[in-house]
Amino acid sequence: MSDTGSENLEEPIYLGEYHGDRNDVGERHGVGKAVLPNGDTYHGVYENGKRSGTGTYLFKNGACYIGEYHMNKKHGQGILYYPDGSKYEGGWVNDQRQGHGVYTYNNGDTYDGEWLQNQRYGHGVYTYHETGSRYVGTWMFGKIESPAGEFVHLNHKYQGNFNNNNPSGPGRYVFDIACEQHGEFGQIDQERVHDEEEDPVTAVHLKCLVKRSPSQVNITSMLLQLL
Per-position DSSP letters for 160-176, written without gaps between them: EEEETTEEEEEEEEEET
Does some domain include residue 167? no
CB 55, CB 71: distance < 8 Å: no
Predicted confidence pLDDT, tens digits, the chain (227 residues): 333 333 444 455 677 899 999 999 999 999 999 999 999 999 999 999 999 999 999 999 999 999 999 999 999 999 999 999 999 999 999 999 999 999 999 999 999 999 999 999 999 999 999 988 999 999 999 998 888 888 888 888 888 888 888 888 888 888 888 788 887 776 544 333 333 332 322 333 334 333 333 333 333 333 333 33
Distance CA 139, CA 85 (A): 24
Does some domain include residue 191? no
Phi and psi (nearest 5°) for 36? Answer: -75, 160
What are the helix (H) ranges across the chain? 219-226
DSSP-based three-state secondary structure for 220 = helix
Does some domain include residue 31? yes
Which domain does 30 fall in, by range? 14-83
Does some domain include residue 49? yes
Does some domain include residue 41? yes
Is the whole model's pTM more than 0.85, yes or no? no
Does some domain include residue 47? yes
Does some domain include residue 202? no
Does some domain include residue 70? yes
How many domains is the chain partitioned into structurally?
1
Question: In this structure, what CATH number is given to the domain that contains residue 44?
Answer: 2.20.110.10
